[in-house]
Amino acid sequence: MPRREDIEKILLIGSGPIVIGQACEFDYSGTQACKALREEGYQVVLVNSNPATIMTDPETADRTYIEPMTVESVEKIIAIEKPDALLPTIGGQTGLNLAVDLAETGVLERHGVELIGANLAAIHKAEDRQQFRDAMERIGLRVPESGVAHSVEEGRRILETVGLPAIIRPSFTLGGTGASVAYRDEEYDGLLDWALQQSPRHECLVERSVLGWKEFELEVMRDAADNVVVVCTIENFDAMGVHTGDSITVAPAQTLTDREYQEMRNAAVAIMREIGVDTGGSNVQFAVDPRDGTLVVIEMNPRVSRSSALASKATGFPIAKIAAKLAVGFTLDEIRNDITRETPASFEPSIDYVVTKIPRFTFEKFPAADSTLTTQMKSVGEVMAIGRTFKESLQKAIRSLEIGHAGLESPQLPDADGDGGEQALWASIDTPRPGRLWAVAEAFRRGHSVEEVARRSHIDPWFLRNLQELTQLEVALNAVPPDQREQWLLTAKKAGFSDRRLGALWGMSEDDVRGMRQARGLRPVYKRVDTCGAEFEAFTPYLYSTYEDECEAQPTDRRKIMILGGGPNRIGQGIEFDYCCVHAAMALRDAGFETIMVNCNPETVSTDYDTSDRLYFEPLTLEDVLAIAEIEKPEGVIVQFGGQTPLKLALPLERAGVPILGTSPDAIDRAEDRERFDDVLETLGLERPPGGMARSQEEAEAVAARIGYPVLVRPSYVLGGRAMQIVQDVQGLREYMRFAVRASPEHPVLVDRFLADATEVDVDAISDGTRVVVGGIMEHIEEAGIHSGDSACSLPPHSLSDAVLAKLLHSTRRLALELGVKGLMNVQYAVKDGEVFVIEVNPRASRTVPFVSKAIGRPLAKLAALVMAGQTLEELGFTEQIVPSHFSVKEAVFPFVKFPGVDTLLGPEMKSTGEVMGIDSDFGRAYAKSQTEAGNTLPTGGTVLVSVRKEHHESLVEPVQQLVACGFRVMATAGTAEVLEAHGVSAERVNKAHEGKANTVDRIEAGDVDMVMNTAAPDSKSIQDSYSMRRAALVRGIPYFTTVAAMRAAAGAVRAMRQETIGVRSLQEIHGTARSSSR
């Protein structure tokens, strides 16, 4: 069937901010869908609140709305744009849920918008636990015994038939939010209550556990002619019980005979038909009993997913792109396979390699969180590696993770009663946690059997034997006499060993191993990902390394630039950097260069095979990057766009003779090395908070004594404020030093005066070496001391004076010129009493580049890439700072809800996973939008609960008065209430949490509170006292503010919201780039 002619304009809904369970894979999918639909001549209208995405670039869609993703807001967009259809399946669970809400509230019908891709009935059948169960029974498939609960009482009755352990799965949530496994009767009610609260439908499935069974996923596509293909099979290394997003996963499936696999495939096809997914891709999950092969269906997602992004990268089959084309009427046989060109998309990819995905966790950011892996996803990113064998791909994936592992190193195991760590070892194997892989390898090193490890971990023996063989090879390598090492190199490299790991085994440096390898002429070759196991010629250079005979890289002799990506997403380094890398690739390709992307993160747009001319899906280690540089010989490498990951490689790459584009590695070092940077500031006569560098505890105490407490302490060379703390006294400093020195032993610790109540400012600028143009000045809403990545900010600044702004511009310009920046630079300042202090300079792309680009309507990363390739800002026509007349507010989004027991207070260590952007004509409205987008929708009336520390009493009065003027009632704890009353604001008294019944927590839980304003004194007792109140607000989704500045902004926003309804505008309209909508 050809393209549908009865629709012209299609609305796409993105997935909003990055949260655990929903990351940049949906930018990848959404961008593909936009491109595919426009390629077919449709107009695309896009809604997504996340500015750090390629899909929200004004070039990606015809109309781009960075607006709240609520029914109310999207209805306004629909009313303006009048789309014919809505494609609900590319924006993750968020997009799907919003589409369902739009349909169910009658918005779609009212405006004549048709759902394409998946109809409402199919979505309900797949997402509603009871309907799905009934559907499976109708087609004769098994599901684990279960029942649907809407209350704890109902759940109790279900438990009688299901038994313990029981899996609790809330309906309509993403990444398994609220899901858990109840092992003990006494924990069941609490877990179920929590899960019910997390479900937007207040509904949960309670299911008999199939813990320990094998878990498989099939990525399935169906077209309107009922053709069905399975794009990829995925087998989980971790057995059932660990969320698939937190499992190590492998493609293709490894431990099924054809007969068992085909039965699974038949079941997947039957499920697609029964659920009624008309067109597009779905993910179907199965559990298999390893004892007899019994097959049960776990769930299906009738949309593109994290797994479909992985499957696309793993096979070269672009699921989201094809799903978009199927949604507008094409059938699979009418769509060409881009990679082979000759063959149609109606086939099933055959792969001749093994793909391993390993999740990346950041429990170090949340020490109070439980790191046990369970049915609720907890990882924040992932890496994927391709090797010809499982062993090779696993070892490549390990070193891609950037968690300090170059291979299967021995874990540190605390000794208990002189057992050499055996108890600790088995504890790490019995319970899945992030480091289990290394514990398993250690078990084999210690001579334990595959059978025993399999029995205790439920990991399939096939995977375990591979690990056992790797450790056996390590033992053998260890024993090789020095003069025979060379002969073992090839064997080791074929099994995926890194030079660094070999160096560790042989007591040599990584450089020496590389030297020995190169002396023998041992270099990796590159194979192509071609969807077909080499059956047809591949025209797309999507490459991975291996140690074999034939190299298929076929480098060209064009002028080429290599871009190093950011590796796995983590807190502090996420999609913003991938956005910059993608922009660099686009700009340089347009400028006539061949672009070469290197990255190992399967979720990203940068690892889409058509983003760059050539894609190397490889770990971002010196060894792997150097090997690519050797074969490609680029005229320059861009390391400044991918965050800290590639930046760390700048110096070693330069030393190895690889040309680094833009700002020189020496200039980067001058900015990042404390002492060298102090010299820069002195030269320029710029101020910074007094401080110093300490290499020992004594030195740290001396610096602190000199400058006075409170001090801000942090290790040098970190991103995302890792291990950054504000310390109040010498006791705190001593505690910190014990922790920090362990966190980063090779690098000294910085100790700076903490500027309390200062305003922090971020400035992004581009320099071509002679001219510096400021992209944007962002005033933080939260005061200094909150990590810039966690603070909301406003562009343009909403309260800074002209004199301060002038100082900021002047300092930024001089810093860029003094450092010799070529490309992007970010400076963080603190402003206190009209004085400007430099906090730090990062001569690289910053997290705020996408936000600024969207706020000012100019693509900073693209401009910077062109500057790095030799153009001047004048040639690029970017010579003046653009100060927009509208306000843009960036707000951070946090994962607290996923981590029971974790406090929501903000500090100098970054904790947010994503961001949203609110744009409107004034600051109040823009801020209000940003709060709605961040899931913190402000009430326009009701009761505000106020409880702030003494120092904040006075500054609180004004915002509370504003709220009262808007009709709010006030509830306050004793001290706060007194001050308010003194200013004529009457407040209902409420007990603090530790003061007995009818306290703040009780009132929040009773639903008496609509907004919470709370600050706590920085001592652990005050924090502890108010913790349960913040947590209660979080769990109930009540907006809460923990800084005075945010309270002020919130009060202003409430006033703006009450004055008039808030409208929506597309980026194209805001920046005056709108093209006529008739094409």
As measured in angstroms, the least distance from the Cβ of 448 to another protein is 16
- 20 vs 326 by CB, closer to another protein: 326
Rg (CA), the chain: 28
765 and 755 Cβ atoms separated by less than 8 Å: no
- 313 vs 798 by CB, closer to another protein: 313
- Count other C-beta atoms under 10 Å from residue 926's C-beta: 28
As measured in angstroms, the least distance from the Cβ of 274 to another protein is 10
Q: Which 3 state secondary structure label does DSSP give 189?
A: helix
352 and 534 Cβ atoms separated by less than 8 Å: yes
CA distance 457 to 712: 43
| Proportion of the chain in helix, strand, coil states, percent, rounded to 5 | 40, 20, 40
- 554 vs 799 by CB, closer to another protein: 554
Residue (of 151, 147, 153, 141) closest to 166 by Cα position: 147
- 177 vs 545 by CB, closer to another protein: 545
- 251 vs 660 by CB, closer to another protein: 251
- 274 vs 762 by CB, closer to another protein: 274
As measured in angstroms, the least distance from the Cβ of 139 to another protein is 7
346 and 531 Cβ atoms separated by less than 8 Å: no
As measured in angstroms, the least distance from the Cβ of 221 to another protein is 11
- 353 vs 829 by CB, closer to another protein: 353
As measured in angstroms, the least distance from the Cβ of 531 to another protein is 9
Residue (of 365, 397, 361, 406) closest to 379 by Cα position: 361
Cross-strand partners of 4: none
CA distance 500 to 621: 10
CA distance 550 to 553: 9
* Strand pairing category for 146-149 and 204-208: antiparallel
- 14 vs 387 by CB, closer to another protein: 387
- The residue assigned the tokens 């293709």 is 252
- 307 vs 943 by CB, closer to another protein: 307
- 230 vs 647 by CB, closer to another protein: 230
As measured in angstroms, the least distance from the Cβ of 160 to another protein is 24
815 and 841 Cβ atoms separated by less than 8 Å: yes
Q: Which 3 state secondary structure label does DSSP give 890?
A: strand
- 343 vs 999 by CB, closer to another protein: 343
- The residue assigned the tokens 């603190």 is 830
CA angle at residue 468 from 353 to 430, to 5 degrees? 105
- The residue assigned the tokens 């005050």 is 1022
As measured in angstroms, the least distance from the Cβ of 449 to another protein is 12
Q: Which residues are CB-neighbours of 957 under 8 A, at least 6 positions away?
A: 979, 980, 983, 985
Cross-strand partners of 636: 561
- 338 vs 594 by CB, closer to another protein: 338
- 527 vs 911 by CB, closer to another protein: 527
- 465 vs 676 by CB, closer to another protein: 465
Q: Which residues are CB-neighbours of 412 under 8 A, at least 6 positions away?
A: none
Residue (of 193, 188, 194) closest to 159 by Cα position: 188
HEC sequence for 1045-1070: HHHHHHHHHHHHHHHCCCCCCCHHHH
As measured in angstroms, the least distance from the Cβ of 232 to another protein is 10
For 835-854, b where at least 16 C-beta lie within 10 A, e where not — what string? ebbbbbbbbbbbbbbbbbbb
Distances from the Cα of 634 to the Cαs of 638, 658, 813, in angstroms?
10, 8, 31
As measured in angstroms, the least distance from the Cβ of 556 to another protein is 20
Cross-strand partners of 525: 546
- Count other C-beta atoms under 10 Å from residue 950's C-beta: 11
As measured in angstroms, the least distance from the Cβ of 171 to another protein is 23
- 533 vs 834 by CB, closer to another protein: 533
Which amino acid would we find at residue 973? T
CA distance 60 to 848: 20
Q: Which residues are CB-neighbours of 368 under 8 A, at least 6 positions away?
A: 899, 901, 902, 903
- Count other C-beta atoms under 10 Å from residue 802's C-beta: 7
As measured in angstroms, the least distance from the Cβ of 292 to another protein is 6
As measured in angstroms, the least distance from the Cβ of 493 to another protein is 10
143 and 155 Cβ atoms separated by less than 8 Å: no
Residue (of 857, 934, 860, 922) closest to 890 by Cα position: 934
Helix axes 575-590, 860-868, angle to 10 degrees: 60
Backbone φ/ψ region at 786: left (φ over 0), alpha (ψ -120 to 50), beta: beta
As measured in angstroms, the least distance from the Cβ of 885 to another protein is 55
As measured in angstroms, the least distance from the Cβ of 489 to another protein is 12
User: Using CA of residue 587, residue 589, residue 595, residue 597, what is the dihedral sign?
Assistant: positive
Helix axes 674-684, 802-819, angle to 10 degrees: 120
As measured in angstroms, the least distance from the Cβ of 456 to another protein is 16
- 456 vs 832 by CB, closer to another protein: 456
CA distance 565 to 553: 19
As measured in angstroms, the least distance from the Cβ of 345 to another protein is 9
As measured in angstroms, the least distance from the Cβ of 294 to another protein is 4
As measured in angstroms, the least distance from the Cβ of 259 to another protein is 6
- 407 vs 574 by CB, closer to another protein: 407
- 229 vs 424 by CB, closer to another protein: 229
